[in-house]
A and B are shown apart, each in its own frame.
Chain A
């Protein structure tokens, strides 16, 4: 494998799904996407339902291959079917519904599923499983049955299942969409930890604005195209554009924006509630 600065590269990628009926050509699900993701980056992808963000996830590890253009994952072309399983050892995908991605009836056996498929030695599998479960904070639950866990716990087991394969990059396709607020917080914390402590590249697909704030880079997708791409500060500055495509900005940013209407000198570029509180206190004192 070539040593490359980028773990994922999309070059002029177009993709469309095949319809059930003949002669009916569905519109493009991805329209000429160009995107480079560096190793170790934490990227959040935001967009509406049907904006193409889930399709993007499936193209990352050769579950789908582009109609035209190229996806280079970990230095390998995904349309080359010889590399299919090599790519999946480097890039893992976690899906929305945790129930539909857990295979075994015991937590630790599910986490072992990936390394077992790769033909790893039993002792090494044991080590990886324990480590992965400790990383996501589910070690005490290793002998539980998955259906008795909460949504957030199940999703963390699913993440551990990918971790045990020791991938360099994890793509998460709306992992928080079906969870309650507590589960969502647990999963977000885990994802942050993977990126900061283990240096794993994260592509985090979501439709919650405030979840994207923690990322290094935010990509906004709309109607199969990339609309905006930049740091959270840069992207959420475009309030009007985001409103136009039916997306909002994080609540704290929205609040700051509304305050600026009456207090024009109130600081700009606030994204989180903590930031807001801090700036507000300094502003009020001044």
Chain B
């Protein structure tokens, strides 16, 4: 059940997108998200959506796994686009009943919203699908290192992220183990109302927390044994390097932005 979550997972590969510098990928993905919000009509959004699909195909990540990650958010997509239908009263009325008016522009806006959310999720999950968690935290550490001026300890934050990522699978296994142990002792986790079931989770979470604290202490000892004393004076094994392909990607994204702005001007804005 818990193991089905694919958001934030990494699928190793050798595609163009996999090989890109993590810093470039992170910043360009951020730029891409901005571009999604720059789109004002379905034509420009369509171009951006097509580009996102093209990147997915380029990354060679299995379409199946991506569709799986959509299963959990289908509800959100439907809800937001449905709200758009009911809240829009501009345009020709297609359907009128009591206080509910459905207009053609409302329908188009709903479609626009749905595509926008899907594109957002596609592009942001593509980042984690194609970048190893360590490279990603490394990239974040390096991109945000100017924050040192504000006395924010970026390297410690990055270390925290790395450790959190490292312990997710371990803690998931632990939850499984504790659940089995409690079930073996007669715990009933599947029946009863919401409150009863929430209460039944208590004997799962107490041992989980106790164990997490124990693990944290042991990890602290192990890190001290390996001379960890914060970010000061730390070197890294792999140096990050920008290649021609990264500069090429910058140009492609810049071109996309220019194209979207031009299409926005030519066609009528929807929102």
Contact = CB atoms under 8 A, between A and B. Distances in A.
B236 interface: yes
A93 B233 contact: no
B162 A97 contact: no
Interface stretch (B108-116, B224-232, B252-260): B224-232
Nearest to B215: A100
Interface residues of A, number: 42
| Residues of B in contact with A, size category | 20 to 34
B154 to A, nearest CB: 16
B237 A112 contact: yes
Contact of B235 (A88, A92, A122, A129): A122
Interface stretch (A72-80, A103-111, A133-141, A245-253): A103-111
Interface stretch (A16-24, A113-121, A209-217, A230-238): A113-121
A126 B239 CA distance: 11
A63 interface: yes
13 contacts: A63-B225, A85-B229, A92-B226, A100-B218, A103-B162, A103-B166, A105-B166, A109-B237, A113-B226, A115-B237, A117-B234, A120-B235, A121-B235
Given A101-B218, A117-B226, A117-B228, A106 B132 contact: yes
Nearest to A128: B237
Top 10 closest A-B pairs, CB basis?
A101-B222, A100-B218, A114-B226, A112-B237, A125-B237, A147-B169, A117-B227, A119-B233, A93-B225, A100-B215
B235 A100 contact: no
Given A103-B162, A104-B166, A58 B221 contact: yes
B234 A103 contact: no
Given A104-B162, A116-B237, A63 B134 contact: no
Contacts, number: 101
B223 interface: yes
Contacts of B219: 100-101, 103
B71 to A, nearest CB: 24
Contact of B223 (A61, A103, A122): A103
Contacts of A93: 221-222, 225
A162 interface: yes
Residues of A contacting B: mostly: helix
A113 B224 CA distance: 11
B149 interface: no
A114 B227 contact: yes
Contact of B236 (A108, A114, A116): A116
A51 to B, nearest CB: 20
B218 A95 contact: yes
A145 B133 CA distance: 11
B166 A146 contact: yes
B191 interface: no
A119 B132 CA distance: 23
Contacts of A99: 170, 215
B52 to A, nearest CB: 27
B83 interface: no
Given A63-B225, A114-B227, A119 B235 contact: yes
A46 B166 CA distance: 33
Please indicate which of the listed interface residues B215, B234, B237, B238 has the most CB atoms of chain A within 10 Å of its own CB. Answer: B237
Contacts of A121: 235
Interface in B63-93: none
